[in-house]
Amino acid sequence: MNYNSLLKSYNLKVTQPRIKILQLIDQRGHIAIDDIYNEISQIYEKLSLATVYKNILTMRNIGLIIEIPIVGKKPKYELTKNSHLHFICKECGAIEDKEIIDNLKDIFKTIALKDQFIISSLQNNIYGVCLKCQ
Partner DNA sequence: GTCCATGCAAACGATTTGCATGCGT
Partner DNA sequence: ACGCATGCAAATCGTTTGCATGGAC
Q: Using CB under 8 A as the criterion, which residues of the chain lie in contact with a copy of itself when the complex forms?
A: 60, 67, 69-72, 75, 85, 87, 89-90, 96, 98, 101, 103-104, 107-108, 111-112, 115-131, 134
**Region from 54-62, 90-98, 99-107, 117-125 binding DNA, contact rule CB under 7 A:** 54-62
Between CA 110 and CA 131 the distance in angstroms is 34
Q: Which helix (H) or strand (E) holds 90?
A: none
CB 120, min distance to a copy of itself, A: 5
CA distances from 122 to 41, 66, 84 (A): 33, 11, 8
In order of 6, 81, 83, the CA distances from 101 in angstroms are 28, 15, 10
Gap between the Cα atoms of 79 and 121, Å rounded: 15
Kindly tell me which residue out of 17, 35, 93, 108 binds DNA, with binding defined by CB under 7 A: 17
Binding positions for DNA, 55-94, rule CB under 7 A: 55, 57-58, 74-75
Of the candidate spans 23-31, 51-59, 109-117, 125-133, the one that interacts with DNA by CB under 7 A turns out to be 51-59
Backbone angles phi, psi at 91, to 5 degrees: -80, -65
Site for DNA, rule CB under 7 A: 8, 12-18, 33-34, 44, 46-51, 53-55, 57-58, 74-75
